[in-house]
Every structure is written in structure tokens, then in C-alpha cells.
Structure 1
Amino acid sequence: MEYILKNGIVYDPTNNVNGDKKDVMIKDGKIVDNVSSDAKVLDVTDKLVMAAGVDVHSHIAGPKLCLGRLYRPEDSRAGVVAKTDITRAETGFSIPSCSATGYRYSRIGYGTVTEAAVPPLEAKHTHEEIMAIPNIDVSPLALFGNNWFVLQFVKENDLEGLAAFVSSWLKISRCYGMKVVNPCGSEAWGWGQNVHGINDPAPYWGVTGGEVVRALTKVNEMLGLPHSMHVHPNDLGHPGNYPTTIDTLDVVKDIKKNPNVLRDQTIHCTHLQFHSYGGTSWRDAKSGAEPVADYINKNKHVTCDVGQVTFDETTTMTADAPMEYDLYKLTGLKWANKDIELETASGLIPVIYSPKSPVSTLQWAIGLELFLLIKDPWQVVLTTDSPNAGPFIRYPRIISWLMSSDRRTEMIENKEVHNWASKRTSLPTLDRVYDWNDIAITTRSAPAKILGLEKRGHLGIGANADVAVYDIEPENFDATKASNAAVVEDVLTRAAYTIKDGEVVVKDGKIVKIVPSRHMWTNVTGFEQQEKKVLEDIMPMFNRYYTVKFENYKVFDHYIDPAIEFTIDASK
């Protein structure tokens, strides 16, 4: 099918298109500069047109989602939607069913999502869930920060061996890139312990989190992986943690970016809101957003996503198992814990972010501070660390807050939120607002570039035909008015059109077509001999400690059909 999206108001920051009235043409799943006379015309006159959204960090597939659905039946009942002639029934609010995940991302105009934490041991199941999610392409990130083999290579300062291990493990797990969570801390949790900074060593290893982050970042650049090191620093959620965050970003400051990749950064710090706290306890907790934002403003090797709190009852799930235990001790809510042999540990616990709660309000305000204090929107992108700070369906609500300082002021002055927003953060003094171009950067162009996805997040010729149209006239609508915030949220929650690879999958907020999601993975070439040797070297330890045979560990082709393979020649 060929399409012409006629007379839309287009925001495409990658190509310096800022609210121009123009046509967007589609053929064979790509953006083109001309189509035949038979092309179907979609009249989008004066409506908002952008590339489909790109989510750099979310949790949508894998065993933790399955555990969460079993462990929180009350959440599953909260989001029930009846099936239609096209769609399956939907369940779940913070932890939607696989089909619901795809539908809901499509409805808000998204086309690409990163599954941000895949234990290689459980990669098969992650890919099985991706196969069950429609309408979005998924780039999974494999966990490396607490892997025993990684710790051994770092201890021996063997970067060549570590690079070969990483490239082989990406093939085995069919993942797109690397993720580090609480480096050395989740390994410590296997011994009932934790670490509290990047200079604390993992028990029995004598290796610190800083050494792990630095070594893996060097390897990431050696291999030329499309995405940078994706890091969840130590001390998540603890008052006074912002110096640890800055130290983590600084430990890779001198590492040079591989010139063969699209991205600019060497480290991506995820859910930064949870890592930007001042104070010494929750009694005197305060914002640490200003020093963190100041560091990022002065350093281009860093990008981040926010993990914005949305004031919902939701579910936290993370490979930072000791943090989940701390949250359990703090709240007394039901808690699930899991240790994944030689690789990582994880936990789950429900959480209620209430606008009347001082801590929830503090977290909400810190997230918005980061959005508003970080000067370059190409360095900070919109996420909720879904579902940890709130479900991804709340992205339109966050956009309404970013676009209206009047709405933020109204929430504070009308006491919709706790007074900690005024007393312990700088949010009331920040009158910056995002315009539609900024929104297109933080939800489309920037996350695509951060992930190294050259053909996504924009509407240039040759780009994937992933397009979102919203029934709002940006030239005739004042998004800065507090009274219009609800309109912005409503319109962005129901895309007028979502087009995925040239096919209309959403029309007027309703799913009209189902297309299979694709698995995005990185195949590193040029290290074959080193990989063979590494696998031979680690096999005695693997056979001794793992509970599966190596032959059953690999993710085979039928688990990733259809797939998008990014081939990287690391020998260059």
C-alpha cells in the first residue's frame, strides 16, 4: 500500500522540520519522496504528525512480567478490555498481557520499544513473549553487570577476553546491547548483601562496580555496538545517592566513542529520577537534581532517561534485588525475590505513588526538574521505567506537564501534591516549557539516536514508515494553558493514525490491524576465533554451576522470527 499523509503539521527534529505544513509519502514500508497516482490519500490537514515513538527503556517481556501477573491478580483485573473482531482481550494495568502491551503502545503512537533487562539464562522466554506482542519492534538488552564470567574477566583485566565473551553472549541471547544493573550489588545479594557505591567490591571477587562499568564501556566501544553502555547505577532510591550517580557517569568520561556508531554518548543512565536524591534519610530527603543536571549539561558523553513518577498504583520490578528488599522493609507490601544463577538477581513489589505522599511528590518533582534543568533535549528522554514509576500509557500525561508550567504551578498551589514539591525541590521556580519540537526530540528523535537506530525516530527519505498522527492542531492550540493539559493527554492517548512499516494499525484510537513485532539483535562479526576460545575456557565453570546444558541455553532462530539483525564488523 502507498499512502500520502496530506497537509499535516510535521515535527521531525532529525531533519530540522519544525512544524512545517507538508505531505508525508509512504511506499513499501519506507518514507519516500514520491508515490504513484494510485496512492491512498489520508487527509491529516493541520493535524500533528511525527515519527512513531521510540521507547529507550521499558519492561514488557520476560519471566519477571509473568511472575508479576501471577503475583498481582488485582492488577490483571484492573485493565480488562473485551476482545474485538481484530484484537484479543486485554488484561492488566501496570503489567498488561502481551497482546495488550502491543495494542497500548500502538494507541499512543509508538513503534519501537527497548526491553531493558534480559537475563541471558531466561532470554528464550523473553523472546517468546516478544513473539506474542504485536505492532512494535523490540530491542532487548542483556544483563552483564553481575555475571560471574564478566567479573572474572574484569578481575584479570582481560578486555580482549571480555569483548569476545560479550559478542558471543549477544549471539547466544539474541540481544541488541548491554545492560548493567547495580553493578556488583546484585551479585552481593546472592550472599545477602549489597554494595552502596561504585568503589565497593563484590564479595569474594575484589572487583568494584566502577571497574565493571568502565570495562564494559570500553568493550562496548571496542565492538562498536549501536547502543552505548546502558547503566542503572548503585544506590537506586536511597536518599543521598546523587554523588554515586555522578561518580558512575564520570568513571567513563575519558573513554572515546567508537566513530562508526550513530550515537554521541558512551553511557546512558537510565531512570535518572531514582538516582538524583539528596539528604541522608527519608526524614531530610531533598532533590539532588540540580548537581546531576549540571554534570550532564557539561558533559556530552552522557544521555539519560527520566523514569518519571505518574501518581499511580503500579508494580516495581528490577534486577536490583537488594533495592526491592529495602522497599519491602520500608512498605511491608508483598515481595517476590529471585536469584538467577551466575548472572543477576531480581525482585518485585507493588507500590502506590500518591500525590498526597511526601516521598511520592518529591520523586514526581525531581523527575520534572531533570526534564527542565537538562538544557539539551537530545540528552534526556521520556520514560517511566515502565512499570516502575508508572505504566507507559501515562506518557501523554507527562507530556502535558512538560508543556505547561501553568499546570505544574496549579498542581502545587492548589495542593494537588504534597508541599515537599515546594519545600525540597526547585520545581516551583522553573517556568521552562517544552514545545512540540522538544516533545518530538525527547520521544522520537533522541531515543532513536541514543539507541543507534538510523532509520527510526524521523521521517526522512528511506526511514522506516513508522508514523503517528494526532487529532490536534498545534498551530491553533495553546498547550501551555493549564486548562488544556487534559486535552493534550486525551489526544495523545488516542492516535488518529499509527502507521507501522507502512501499514495503518491504529485509526481514531482503535486497533485496526495486527502486525507481528520484530526482534532486534546485534550480530558482532570479526571475533569468531576469540569467541570460540572464550567459550572453551568458560565451559568448565558453566557446566559446574549452571542448571542447564549449554546446548539448551542458546536462543535459536525460531525464537526470533521475524527478526532485524544488526551486523557489526568489530575487526575494522
Structure 2
Amino acid sequence: MPLLKIANGRIYDPAHGRDGVVGDLWIRDGIVIAPPAGADVRADRVIDATGLVVMPGGVDMHCHIAGSKVNAARKMRPEDKQPFARHGAFRSGTGGTVPSTFTTGYLYAGLGYTAAFDAAVPPLSARHVHEEFHDTPILDKGFFVMLGNNQYLLQQLAAGDHRQACNYLGWIVNTARAYGVKVVNPGGVEVWKQSGGSVRSIDDVIPEFNITPRQIVREIARSVDELGLPHAMHLHCTNLGVPGNASTTLETMQALEGHRAHLAHIQFHSYGGDPDDQSTFCSRVPELVEYISAHPNVSVDVGQVLFGPATAMTGDSALGYYLHKLLGAKWYSCDLEMEAGCGIVPIVYKQKSFVHALQWAIGLEWYLLMPDPWRIAMSTDHPNGASFLAYPQIIALLMDRNRRDEMLQQLPAGIREKCTLGDITREYTLSEIAIITRAAPARMLGLTQKGHLGPGADGDVTLYQPQTDLQQMFELPRYLVCGGEVILDDGELVKEQPGRTLYSAPGFDEACVPAIADWFNEHYSLRFGNYGVDDNFLPHGREVACVQK
């Protein structure tokens, strides 16, 4: 592979303490290398980065870009489609809140992102997700497999068989070629599938299994740590979107007992108030930030809401139904055999809505009140709070207090009394933006080759032209280098390449497999031998990479 030199850029590489330091980067064979010795070394290509901001490629650790629910949303929202015309060697597709596969890769690259992780894939959908990943270019990709309502796992937890539960998690992650483990409304989806109800407390008992969400969260987090997975248990807490849910969120974090957990789309879990009285709806971000700041085993991504169209898409079936009844919008729900479910509802976040405006403010509170940016990652829970294309808008709001204040003045009266956003003067620096969009999510995911620009890092680099309009600056990178290849060249998308699928391969006791097979063959309509993604499935031109802790 040619030798690439990025010369004289202002390098923002927080992992190595570089805060706008002017210097050069060298990339060979897709990897950042130390400057070659010898005066006669000549790069095959030199990008003159004089005056440009240089950062690692962006890492989106929580989004929804593949799988059965994503495809269902694409089908049920024809009114949302925006054509993405074919040009040159690039494929056509559609945009909107749920872009098609090829378009997703192109649009992420157009923002300077080089890695993205789908946050909720049931094991039964894993095979198809790998097919979709193959059709999502440029990005390196991975997914978290959903296990918080998996019936085999719940049975092992109910029997108190932690060893078998842990081995099952190890087996399923290997079988699905997943990167990590996702828990969605632990036990609550199973309750909804049984009775149409849900759980409201982490100590509610789940019928048939006689266990609680507290036990599920604690035991899965413990198993993830024992398996040595690179990423913590990825958790969607109970009572998402419900006023007063901050108390449940705090109790859930306390239930971890020191085990690692990453709390997804934390904005949706940070509400005070009475569920039956909307006038009491308020922010409880400060006390949750205080707890997380004192407990390094917990990290978060935000799930920022932006005004405009979105698609509520969740593995939490009960939440999907709740939103359908609340909004009166069309609704899709799916029961995934013995495993999980999903709910999909179109939504428009309106600036004149008090609830939507407060959700917008609560998300920004999280970024601005968190003292340590290494513990928080940027996300919109794409496409739930907004499209990932809104990231530049969020960046501009974080870096410019005046912009936030102007927005606050346009929102419904009383918002300032329900949150602290109007009193916050903090403005993010470019280094802090590099942390929450690159370095921190890579570190939370255990990706040692991403999120930094030191020797040995993947050759993923984004170059931005400084502008007074910060949103426009981050919407239009000048260059994107992915795996050492120039993908965006002077603002134009010039190349497409496959990207890798990243997965984990934890060790587990293979003696557990016969018992799993017997249970599956008894309970599933799909036979055990066809359940997962086997070694014969993956090749077909795919490039995959196993990531160990």
C-alpha cells in the first residue's frame, strides 16, 4: 500500500495529549506509523493540511443501521425516503431518517466517521445483519447482541446457574459474531409479550421465571466481565421515556455492584416528575452525573433529541406500543421467538412541544455537566432522537453558548425552570469534541486501534477546514482517510471500500453446548444447527476482525 503523509496539520489527538499541535502523520499499510527515518524518504502522496484540523476518524458507538427492525422501518416509512442518486461507481439508495445500506456508509463517511456499532441485534437476526454490513461500505462495523429477555438465559438465571448463564453468553457472542452484549428493558419485554404489561421497578418479579430486572442486570454484567469482553454490558434501562424514571436509572446503576456497564441513550432515562402528571416533568441530570462521576465502572452515551423528523426504533416492544398510543402514529411491533421484540413508530420532535424541548435541553445538560468527557459519548440513538447527520449541529451547540441561549429563547416558557441548561456557561473545546466523538467511544468499546493517531492506530483520519460556522465546519470535512485510503478528497467522495466487521471471541466451556442444543431443538421452530452465523457463512468477500480484550 502506498505511503501517505498528512503534513503540517493541527492535530487533535487527546489520547496522546496533542491539543492542536502542528505536525505530520504518516500512514503505511493502513496503519499510522512513526515518522520514517532518513531524509530520502518520500511519500507516495502528501496531503497539505496546513491550517486544517486533524482528528481520528469518528466512532459512533450507539446507532441502529442494520437488522430486522431497521428493515421494517425502511418499509413502513415510504414518506420519509430521500433519493440518493447513483454517480460514478457509487450505488444509488435512499436517505431520510433510516437510510439504505450503501447510503448509510456514504453519509457517515461524509461526516468524517469511520466506525459505527448497531446497538440491538437479536441472535436470530445476526445472519442477516452480517449480510447488510457487507453492503454498508467504508465503515468498520460491529453489533451488540440482545440478551436481556432471552428465555434460555432467563431460565439459567432463575435456576441460579451462573456458570451456565456465563457460558451461554460466551457461546452466543461467538455464534452470532457479535461485538458485545445488549440488555433492553431487562425482563420487561418478556412481561409485555406475556401479558401486555411491563415492569416499573427493577424489583418487579417477572412471571414464569420468578426473577427481577435487578438480578438480570447484575448477573449479565458479571458474566460480561468474567468473559473479558472488550465492551461493558450495554444497557437500555427500565422505564425509558417515563417521567420519574431517573430514580429507576439510579437504582439500576447501584445494582451493578462494581461491575462495568454502559448506559445507552441516557437522556431518555433522566427524567423527574410524576408519570401521571406531565406538568411535573423535569430534569434530574445533576444527581445522575454526580453518581456516575464517582463510579468509574459506568459510562454513558447521550441519545440527543433534535427538532425534526425521527423514527422511534427499539427492542423495547412495550415502549413502542406506549409511543403509538401517545402519538396516535402508525406502529409496527414484532415478537422475536424466545428472544426479544421490537417496536417502531414515526415521530416528529417539535420545538413548540414542552416535552420535546425539555428532552433537547436534558441531552445538552449531560454533555455540559459531565466533568470528565472520557465517560460520555455523542449519540442521537440514531434514528430515535435524530439522524446521525445531526452530529454537527450538536457540536455547534456544545461549542457556542450564545447559540444555545438563542435556541432556549425560542422554546416554550418554563423550560429554564425545569433544567439547568440556561445557567451553564461551559463551551466545549476542539479537544473535548475529539474525545466525545472519537477517543472516548473507542476507549469504551475497547478498540485499541481506533480513536487515536499514535503509531499502530488504524489509518482513519478526518481533516476539517476551520470556519466561523461550527456546524458547517463539521458537516463538510475536507478529507477523510480510512484504512490509509483517501475516501474524501477536497470535500468530494472519491472512493468506496468494504470496511471490516468487528467481533469478539470470548472463551467459554464448550461442554455447555449440548444442553443448549437440546433446549433449542425442543423450544425453537428453527433448529439449533441453523441458529447462528457459522464459519461457512462469513467469507463471501467479507473482511472480519476479531477483537480481544
Query: Would you call these one fold, judging by a TM-score over 0.5?
Result: yes
Residue number in structure 1 paired with 2:74? 69
How many residues of Structure 1 are paired with residues of Structure 2 in the alignment? 538
Aligned-residue offset at 1:542: 1.2
Q: Distance in 2 between matches of 1:297 and 1:123?
A: 35
How much has 1:420 moved relative to structure 2? 4.0
Amino acid corresponding to residue 103 of structure 1 in structure 2: Y
Distance 2:451 2:353 in 1: 36
Q: Report whether the alignment pairs 1:550 with 2:535.
A: no
User: 1:518 touches 1:564 (CA, 8 Å); kept in 2?
Assistant: yes
CA distance in 2, matches of 1:319, 1:329: 17
Q: Which residue matches 2:87?
A: 84
Following TM superposition, by how much is the alpha carbon of 1:226 offset from its aligned partner in structure 2, in angstroms? 0.4
Unaligned runs of at least 5 residues, structure 1: 256-265, 478-483
Q: Does residue 46 of the first structure (1) align with residue 51 of the second (2)?
A: yes
Contact 1:86 1:511 in 2 (8 A): no
Match of 1:115, SS state, is strand
Secondary structure of the corresponding residue to residue 547 of structure 2: strand
The match for 1:300 is 296
CA RMSD between the two structures: 1.3
2:182 to 173, 179, 192: 179
The 10-residue stretch of structure 1 (558-567 or 138-147) with the greater mean CA deviation from structure 2: 558-567
TM-score under structure 1 length normalisation: 0.92
C-alpha distance in 2, partners of 1:389/1:123? Answer: 24
Instruction: Give distance in 1, aligned partners of 2:436 and 2:548.
Output: 27
Using the alignment, how far apart are the partners of 2:280 and 2:299 within structure 1? 29
Q: Which residue of 1 aligns with 2:513?
A: 535
Residue 493 of structure 2 is aligned to residue 511 of structure 1: yes
CA drift of 1:559 comes to 3.3
Paired with 2:66 and 2:79, the residues of 1 have a C-alpha distance of 19
**In structure 2, how many angstroms separate the alpha carbons of the residues matched to 1:338 and 1:44?**
49
Decide whether the 8 Å contact of 1:353 with 1:360 is kept in 2.
Answer: yes
Map of 1:521 onto structure 2 = 503
Q: How does 1:257-276 map to 2 (within 5 A)?
A: 266-276=260-270
Which of 80-89 and 459-468 deviates more?
80-89
Alignment of 1:405 onto 2:401: yes
Determine the structure 1 residue equivalent to 2:543: 562
Pair 1:29 & 2:15 matched: no
Q: For 1:95, what is the secondary structure of its paired residue? A: coil
Q: Distance in 1 between matches of 2:109 and 2:413?
A: 36
Decide whether the 8 Å contact of 1:174 with 1:521 is kept in 2.
Answer: yes
Partner of 2:236: 232
Contact 1:242-1:275 at 8 Å conserved across structures: yes
* Percentage of identical aligned residues: 38
Q: Please tell me whether the aligned partners of residues 361 and 420 of structure 1 are also in contact (alpha carbons under 8 angstroms).
A: no
8 A Cα contact 1:4 1:40, kept in partner:
yes
1:108 is aligned, of 107, 111, 131, to 111
C-alpha contact (below 8 Å) 2:218/2:257 kept by paired residues:
no
1:253 touches 1:301 (CA, 8 Å); kept in 2? no
**201-210 or 174-183: bigger deviation:** 201-210
Residue 509 of structure 1: CA displacement? 3.1
CA shift for structure 1 position 211? 0.5
Alpha-carbon distance in 2 for matches of 1:355, 1:16: 39
Query: Within the alignment, does 1:490 sit opposite 2:472 as a pair?
Result: yes
How far apart are the structure 2 equivalents of 1:509 and 1:27?
23
Q: Output the amino acid matched with 2:544.
A: A
Q: For 2:431, which of 431, 437, 446 is the aligned residue?
A: 437
1:46-75 Cα shifts (integer Å, max 9, x gaps)? 111000011110000111111011100011
1:524 counterpart SS class: coil
Q: CA deviation at 1:204?
A: 1.2
Checking the alignment, whether the CA contact within 8 Å between 2:182 and 2:235 is kept in structure 1 is yes
* Aligned equivalents of 2:545, 2:79: Cα separation in 1: 36
Q: Which amino acid aligns with 1:84?
A: H
State whether residues 240 and 269 of structure 2, in contact with CA within 8 Å, keep that contact through their aligned partners in structure 1: yes
Judge which range, 546-555 or 63-72, deviates more: 546-555
TM-score, length of structure 2 as denominator length: 0.96
**Equivalences for 1:272-291 in 2 at 5 Å?**
272-281=266-275, 282-291=278-287
Q: Map 1:389-400 to 2 at 5 A.
A: 389-400=385-396
* DSSP 3-state at the match of 1:513: coil
